């Protein structure tokens, strides 16, 4: 508790310079005391320390000012960077909004694309089914076409062969009054009617110009053939043609000197006037007969006839298949041991 000013309390004399102090035996001297040397050194040290502290405080203040300046500059830089980042953030937010809008558009497009993809997949499936169906139909049509082509080709080949045979038959029929004379020497300015009359005389036949419709030489089928061109004679009737050929066969051969032709004697041949197809068939028959030891090969009414010997049967050759079937050597009969003992 605080005491009131009226309270009794002991008071001391503030004057410390009095000579006598009551109640004590101490006598105070007036005037200043002489300070010791150590106190002067302390005072000087304190002064130096104070100066140093003042200088350090000044340096510290300068450093702090510099640091505050740097901090302020850094804060300003940070503020600018923050503002820049704020702008960038705003731009990023705008970009994000745009990207979100684009994402929504893309999502919508993807949804439409997915729908179109499903439609396209369905269309592709239908097309695949259609292609498979068409492929099966094509394979079936191709198979049918192959069978039809084979049938048509076979039919066409048969038809062509039949037509060729009919045409050849008609051509051969048109030549039924013709005789072909081969290997007869050829001369410039020759009179073939006179030569044919000489042939008739050699065959003991009387031939006049009235019996002849036409007579001329024809070129060879193969130009490299050096033999004389054949002579084609067309008589007025087939009967006359047959009589001439019969007389030729009975003559057992006809040579050029017998009909008054000059030069080395040569064999003259007289045959029915065959078509090229029949001539080729006749040639192949002669070759096959020679290799299989058939003695007789001749032509009668445009049909090739073959005969192995005088006592064997006569075969008519009308196609190349007949050559391999009919012109072949007869097997030699073999006798068994039991037949030999008999």
Residue 299 dihedral angles phi and psi, to the nearest 5°: -125, 135
On the CB side of 218, CA atoms within 13 Å amount to 18
Report CA-CA distances (Å) from 149 to 135, 138, 144, 152, 217.
Answer: 20, 15, 8, 5, 45
The token pair that represents 188 in the structure block: 């410039």
pLDDT tens sequence for the chain (342 residues): 444 445 444 445 554 444 444 544 544 454 555 555 677 888 888 888 888 888 888 888 888 888 888 888 888 888 888 888 788 888 888 888 888 888 888 888 888 888 888 888 889 998 888 999 888 888 989 888 888 888 888 888 888 888 988 998 899 999 999 999 999 998 888 999 999 999 999 999 989 999 999 999 998 877 777 889 999 999 999 999 999 999 999 988 899 999 888 888 999 999 999 999 999 999 999 999 999 989 899 999 889 999 998 888 899 998 888 898 888 876 554 444 444 444
Residue 24 dihedral angles phi and psi, to the nearest 5°: -135, 165
3-state helix, strand, coil split of the chain in percent (to 5) is 60, 10, 30
**Cα radius of gyration rounded to whole Å, the chain:** 75
pTM over 0.85: no
Q: Strands 230-235 and 178-182: what pairing?
A: antiparallel
**Among 315, 318, 243, 307, residue whose Cα is nearest residue 274:** 318
Vertex 156: Cα angle to 151 and 162 (nearest 5): 130
3-state secondary structure of 158: helix
Exposure string (b/e) for 330-339, b if CB count within 10 Å is 16 or more? eeeeeeeeee
């Amino acid at each position: 508790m605080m005491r009131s000013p009226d309270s009794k309390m002991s008071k001391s004399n503030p004057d410390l310079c009095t000579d006598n102090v009551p109640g004590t035996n101490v006598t105070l001297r007036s005037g200043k005391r002489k300070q010791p040397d150590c106190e002067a050194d302390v005072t000087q040290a304190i002064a130096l320390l104070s100066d140093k502290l003042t200088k350090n405080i000044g340096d510290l203040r300068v450093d702090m000012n510099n640091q505050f300046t740097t901090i302020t500059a850094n804060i300003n830089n940070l503020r600018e960077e923050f503002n820049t980042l704020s702008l960038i953030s705003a731009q990023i937010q705008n970009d994000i909004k745009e990207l979100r809008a684009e994402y929504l558009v893309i999502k919508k497009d993807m949804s439409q694309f997915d729908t179109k993809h499903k439609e396209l997949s369905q269309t592709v499936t239908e097309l695949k089914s259609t292609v498979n169906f068409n492929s099966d139909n094509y394979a079936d049509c191709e198979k049918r076409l192959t069978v039809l082509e084979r049938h048509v080709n076979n039919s066409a080949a048969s038809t062509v062969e039949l037509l060729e045979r009919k045409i050849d038959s008609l051509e051969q029929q048109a030549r039924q009054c013709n005789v072909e004379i081969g290997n007869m020497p050829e001369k410039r300015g020759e009179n073939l009617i006179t030569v044919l009359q000489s042939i008739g005389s050699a065959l003991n036949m009387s031939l006049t110009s009235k019996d002849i419709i036409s007579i001329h030489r024809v070129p060879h089928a193969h130009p490299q053939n050096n033999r004389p061109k054949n002579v084609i004679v067309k008589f007025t009737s087939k009967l006359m043609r047959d009589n001439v050929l019969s007389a030729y066969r009975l003559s057992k051969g006809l040579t050029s000197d017998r009909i008054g032709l000059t030069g080395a004697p040569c064999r003259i041949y007289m045959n029915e006037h065959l078509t090229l197809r029949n001539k080729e068939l006749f040639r192949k028959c002669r070759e096959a007969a020679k290799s299989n030891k058939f003695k007789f090969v001749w032509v009668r009414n445009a049909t090739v006839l073959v005969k192995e010997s005088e006592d064997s049967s006569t075969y008519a050759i009308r196609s190349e298949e007949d050559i391999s079937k009919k012109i072949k050597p007869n097997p030699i009969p073999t006798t068994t041991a039991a037949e030999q003992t008999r």
